[in-house]
Amino acid sequence: MKAIVFDTPALPINDPRSLFEHTLPKPTPGARDLLVEIKAIAVNPVDTKVRASRRSDQPEVLGWDAVGVVREVGAEVTLFQPGDEVFYAGAIDRPGAYSEFHLVDERIVGHKPRTLDNASAAALPLTSITAWELLFDRLGVPEQGGQGQRLLVIGAGGGVGSILLQLARQLTQLTVIGTASRPETQAWVKDLGAHAVIDHTQPLAPQLAGLQLDQVDYVISLTHTGSYLSQIVEILRPQGKLALIDDPDQLDIMPFKRKSISVHWELMFTRSLYQTDDMIKQHELLERVSALIDDGVIKTTLGEHFGTINASNLKRAHALLESGKAKGKIVLQGF
């Protein structure tokens, strides 16, 4: 099968070997696996991070967002059958989906939204799982709860922020504030449901005060968390909660003590990495997201379509992600 791979870490994306086309054997499903014929993929920051850091002398396949058709199922599969259209993010400790065929455990897969084409659906899985787990599992906000409380999302214009804003606005009663620094991303954040938008390149507290919002109950920080820590402590209410997904160089927890602020990490791969007892919750939440899409409650966060799945287009996508200027999700479709 055709695949786009890398075999040398930390190469600049314009290097010919940073991503290249390669032929690999078609995989065989394990007991709970689906063999999926890939129709569309999305590119995420995790793809660029793994390309920069994973050490291997064998060709490795990236890609943790996929839409496709189930072609074969393992002996113990109960949730899907051949011919089903599916969407999912996969597992970080298994090969990714930059390939014509891909194996994935059924417990982290959902049925593709009926109302979306393949490219639009590919924009959703990883960010939907991350956003859902941040809001409902890590911070513990109850569905339809949060009345009178405030959520600030730092870096709200990216992939995770774009779905998180919708979930928070549509499924809770929180007042939702997003941060974005460019006019186009500020408009995007507002359109996705933020009650207010502030600029994260400027001090946060005065902007919140200017909106009569002052302190907030929850902060979800999606990028450059290390540079905002002192401001986060300042704007969070006593006994507030911070959740983050990025990797600060340092995280000094002591400033959070005086206010009894709790800190929560989110990695959407945790359940699959550790085969947790509740791993099937990712199947369940993807089924819920699919229904919310089909019911018109939320919408795809597709930002840019980069054409067919090949090394050249994937390099363009990686370069845009590494620039920090992506809006929404970057998708590719078909081989």
Q: What is the pLDDT of residues 171-209, one digit of tens each?
A: 999 999 999 999 999 999 999 999 999 999 999 999 999
Q: What is the pLDDT of residues 286-324, one digit of tens each?
A: 999 999 999 999 999 998 999 999 999 999 999 999 987
What is the spatial distance between Cα 121 and Cα 118, in angstroms, rounded to a whole number?
5
Q: What is the pLDDT of residues 4-30, one digit of tens each?
A: 999 988 899 999 999 999 999 999 999
* Mean pLDDT, rounded, for 152-168: 95
Residue 33, pLDDT > 90, answer yes
What is the spatial distance between Cα 305 and Cα 272, in angstroms, rounded to a whole number?
28
For 58, phi and psi rounded to 5 degrees? -110, 150
Class of 127-265 in CATH: alpha beta
Residue 56, pLDDT > 80, answer no
**Domain-wise residue ranges, the chain:** 2-124+270-333, 127-265
Q: Which residues contact 128 (CB under 8 A, 6 or more apart)?
A: 163, 285, 286, 289
| CATH architecture label of 2-124+270-333 | Alpha-Beta Complex (3.90)
Q: Cα dist. 56→40, 51, 240 in Å?
A: 26, 10, 42
Q: What is the pLDDT of residues 248-296, one digit of tens each?
A: 988 999 999 999 999 999 999 999 999 999 999 999 999 999 999 999 9
Q: What is the pLDDT of residue 214?
A: 87
Topology alike, domains 2-124+270-333 and 127-265: no
